[in-house]
Structure 1
Amino acid sequence: MIRSELIDGLAASHPHLSRKDAEDTVEVILNAIVQAVADGKRVEIRNFGVFSASLRKAHLARNPRTGEPMQKAATRFPKFKPGKPLQGLEPSASSDK
């Protein structure tokens, strides 16, 4: 499912919402999650999952082109842990990527 399919589904299941209102709603929710994770906060949506930021420590790496060792700075990256209802799901054979 892509963003436009999510918006269309929301608009279809709530006839009082226009497509524009559904689009604005999805945009506000996603922006709130992104901003919270960027600020280092944890966002928990019960029965769905938890969005958080994890810290990757600074470490010694190699430049793949030259093989020269180099120091990589610590970085923060987003992480998602699915809730219990999502943990047991198996991907369907016809799922699109």
Structure 2
Amino acid sequence: MKATQSNITKKEIVDEIASQTGFTQVKTKVIVEELIDAISNCVIEGNNIELRGFGRFKNKQRKERRTRNPKTGELVNIPAKVRPVFEPSKDLIEKINNVPFDLEEAFVPKDDQERI
């Protein structure tokens, strides 16, 4: 896969894995979806998922807090909640920072719009 500023879809990931492994796209899609389901279910159950060299999926507790409603100015309580988070590994961060990145290519306007 090419490093760009666009979003990569699950289908594109399935296509890439299928072409590299020789598996059919149908089998590869099942494997990718099962992996996503397994990670999701473990995080829902409150478990951390650590994939060495990639990162960790975990839940993070957010405290209750007070904030101001921007429309009315009224103080509002936001209840405590659990948020799923991803923490990249040091290896992944190092790999990302060692990828040559062409700023000129990354910020070329879409639709051939003029730059400001």
What TM-score comes out, normalization by structure 1 length?
0.87
Aligned partner letter, 1:85: D
Aligned residues: 95
Consecutive unaligned residues of structure 1, counting only runs of 5 or more, are none
The answer to which structure, 1 or 2, has the higher relative contact order (CA under 8 A, 6+ apart) is 1
Q: 1:12 is matched with which residue?
A: 19
Q: Counterparts of 2:74 and 2:26 in 1: how far apart (Å)?
A: 52
Bigger helix share? 2
Pick one of 41, 48, 54 that aligns with 2:54. Answer: 48
Runs of 4+ that moved beyond 4 A: none
The RMSD of aligned alpha carbons is 1.8
Q: 1:87 is matched with which residue?
A: 93
Consecutive unaligned residues of structure 2, counting only runs of 5 or more, are 1-7, 108-116
**CA displacement at 1:68 relative to structure 2:** 0.3
Q: Work out the percentage of aligned pairs sharing the same amino acid.
A: 29
> Which protein shows a greater Rg?
2
Bigger strand share? 1
Aligned partner letter, 1:61: T
